[in-house]
Chains A and B, each alone.
Chain A
Amino acid sequence: MVSGLINENPVIYERKQRQQRSTQSLPADEYTVEPIDQQEIFDILFFFFLNSIFLDIKDPEHPYSLEELKVITEEAVEVDDQKSYVRVTFTPTVEHCSMATIIGLCLRVKLLRSLPPRYKVDIRVAPGSHATEAAVNKQLNDKERVAAALENPNLVDMVDECLAPSFD
């Protein structure tokens, strides 16, 4: 584990006001397929906390959500339900954030567990946001490496910890 805080004073942004979902578009009957949209994907990723990512799992130093840290925003989620395609672009808080791969892995696992299996998911760091952007993107999208990582119990524990909902 990393010792010492990587980014001691992160900029905290206010959470965006959630849009009320229109109730008029409720499906006419239960067989109508409701397409998955940008906000829904964002909501899936919303309860996704940094507390275990940035350091000591027992003593979380950053009890903020990824949204509050602007690691991911609704605008950075692109979704095409027709093509069953999602792309999430996230912004590590600092350029050399060594946890970028773990954050990306957590995002991928969360979507893997939440979306229908037909979905194709690409995860990437925002252009220019990370010193080794290409290397991180390549690793996050190599499914063999992801599969191998998810057979590692320590890594799975860490991902589960990150994905645990917070109770603030």
Chain B
Amino acid sequence: MERLELKEVQKLEGHTDRVWSLDWNPATGHAGIPLVFASCSGDKTVRIWEQNLSTNLFSCKATLEETHTRTVRSCAWSPSGKLLATASFDATTAIWENVGGEFECVSTLEGHENEVKSVSWNASGTLLATCSRDKSVWIWEVQPGNEFECVSVLQGHTQDVKMVRWHPTEDILFSCSYDNNIKVWADEGDSDDWQCVQTLGEPNNGHTSTVWALSFNASGDKMVTCSDDLTLKVWETEHVGMQSGGGFAPWRHVCTLTGYHDRTIFSVHWSRGGIFASGAADDAIRLFVENNESQVDGPLYKLLLKKEKAHDMDINYVQWSHGEKPLLASASDDGTIKVWDLVS
């Protein structure tokens, strides 16, 4: 069996406080366009990093500052890669547009009562979701001229909502929370009538503490979640999206990966190639893959490798880049971002 290694390609310094999150621009890294990602931090700024095509090294191309007045908790590129949404503890979400290499704040979404923790675009780039410590999830419709209209305020979580993620192909929204639950939201009618269609919690083999993050596999029929309960859980559905006869195909628990991390798992991300990475407060990155060894009752997923001391402090976020040969980026409390290559 080939021996895989997570090789550190580069350590990026620039943020002056913990780095909370990052997002690879989906429109980059192919057709000769250099890879780009955005990162956001407790230093209230967002940084844009671009790869040099000849050296393969990343450098900071822009710093987006003086807009958010508190920590920038999360950032997300629109599917076209033209707009960047940034969610902040200052209770706002800012929308930035790349105008000839300069980033301009073209819209500010206000409405949440306090810290906005996560932001996500749907697959077509027509809807945006945000969530907050105010326990609500908001859905915004993208209108012409960089206008955003709130079409639904979803109440259901009983504590702050840590992350929102749209399904990779369907307009179905997933949220996870300090209340230990994952909720699935869908528009079952046709008039912005968004409803909670499923709650994955302790009675469904769910998590027993804060759920920090979730991620989908490439086909969108599986989801992995990570938690303060030190476990990762894999979920699946029979049908992606709404069934032809109407009605929602529920998600069910497949397996729980336990005993790997010994502190809170803050982040998990599934690559197109089927490897999911986790980042945790134990400073380590772990990679997992489906276990193809056909042993009866064997584990469904196995640890591919563990990178100890990947950072000097907690790892808050991990994400694979798009494309054939993805790179992994990790963001940490140590104020740095690292770019990793999976090599054999």
Chain A residues with CB under 8 Å of chain B are: 117-118, 120, 138, 141-145, 147-148, 151
Contacts and interface: CB of A to CB of B under 8 A. Distances in A.
A74 B115 CA distance: 37
22 contacts: A117-B313, A117-B334, A118-B312, A118-B313, A120-B263, A120-B281, A141-B228, A141-B264, A142-B210, A142-B228, A143-B314, A144-B73, A144-B117, A145-B133, A147-B18, A147-B42, A147-B71, A148-B89, A148-B114, A148-B115, A148-B133, A151-B89
Contacts, number: 36
A156 to B, nearest CB: 13
Contacts of B263: 120
A145 B117 CA distance: 11
B210 A138 contact: yes
Contacts of B209: 138
Contacts of A145: 133, 160
The B interface, classified by DSSP as helix, strand, loop or mixed, is: loop
Contacts of A144: 73, 117, 162
Interface in B256-273: 263-264
Contacts of B174: none
Give chain B's interface residue range (CB within 8 Å of chain A): 20 to 34
A120 B313 CA distance: 9
B314 A117 contact: no
A143 to B, nearest CB: 7
A53 B302 CA distance: 49
A157 B73 CA distance: 23
B340 interface: no
A117 B242 CA distance: 48
B53 to A, nearest CB: 35
A117 B133 contact: no
A120 B261 CA distance: 14
Contacts of B264: 141
B315 to A, nearest CB: 12
B214 to A, nearest CB: 16
- For the complex of A and B, list the 9 residue pairs with the smallest distance between their C-beta atoms, beginning with the closest: A151-B70, A148-B115, A148-B89, A117-B313, A151-B89, A118-B312, A147-B71, A151-B71, A147-B42
Contacts of A151: 70-71, 89
A142 B266 CA distance: 11
B24 interface: no
B229 to A, nearest CB: 11
Contacts of A148: 71, 89, 114-115, 133
Contacts of B133: 145, 148
Contact of B312 (A117, A141, A142, A147): A117
Interface string B202-244: 0000000110000000000000000010000000000000000
B178 interface: yes
A148 B228 CA distance: 18
Interface in B21-54: 42
A111 to B, nearest CB: 14
Nearest to A134: B209
Nearest to A143: B314
Contacts of B314: 143
A148 B160 CA distance: 12
Given A117-B313, A120-B281, A148-B115, A142 B71 contact: no
A142 B178 contact: yes
Task: Output the residue of A120, A138, A144 with the most chain B CB within 10 A.
Answer: A144
A151 B333 CA distance: 16
A143 B228 CA distance: 11
A55 to B, nearest CB: 26
A147 B70 CA distance: 10
Contacts of A118: 312-313
A52 B333 CA distance: 30
